[in-house]
Structure 1
Amino acid sequence: LALKSLRQMCYRIIQYSEYSCGHQFVIRQQIVDCNSQRCRLSGMHNNGNHNCAATCAQSLLPDQPIITDTLGHLCSRCGGMTNGH
C-alpha cells in the first residue's frame, strides 16, 4: 500500500573519478527523467490546469553518485603536500 502512494520523481546521476587519496572529482552530471505526469520536473508533466503543488512532486530525489573510474595516484592537492601537510 505504501509503495503505491510514493510519487515518481526525477533524479540526478553524478559520475565521479576517485583518486587513491579518496578525493573525488565530477566527470559528468545528468538528470534522469521519471516520465511521470505527476512530477513538475519531468518532460511528461501534466501541463493542463491542476493543483501542481498539491498533486505533483516538486523536487529531485537525492543525487545518485557513481564512481566510474578509480585512479591509482593522489590528487594534485594531496600529491603536492610534503610530510602529509
Structure 2
Amino acid sequence: MFGPWMQLGLATTQLAFEAQTVIAMRLAKLSLGGPAAGVEAQRMVSEKVMAAMEAAATLATGGSASTVVKDYRRHVRANARRLRRG
C-alpha cells in the first residue's frame, strides 16, 4: 500500500543529494570566473527552464510525479557526469 509513496520519497531524497553534488561542482566552476563560468551559467538557466517545461508536459499529459522525479534525476546525473569531466 505504501510502496509507491515510499519509492517516490526515496527517489526525491536521492534527487536532492545528487543535485547538491551538481550545485557544488557548478559553484566551484562559477567561482573561477572567465568564459567557462559564463557558459555554465547560461547552460544552468536554460537547462532549468527546459526541465520545468518537460515536467509540466509530463504532468499535463497524465504522467506521474514519479516520472517527473525520474526524469529530473536523469538530467542531474548527466550534469554531474559532464561536470566531473571538466
The TM tier, using the shorter chain, reads: under 0.3
Q: TM-score, normalised by structure 1?
A: 0.27
- The answer to which structure, 1 or 2, has the higher relative contact order (CA under 8 A, 6+ apart) is 2
Q: TM-score, normalised by structure 2?
A: 0.27
More helix by share: 2
Structure with max Cα Rg: 1
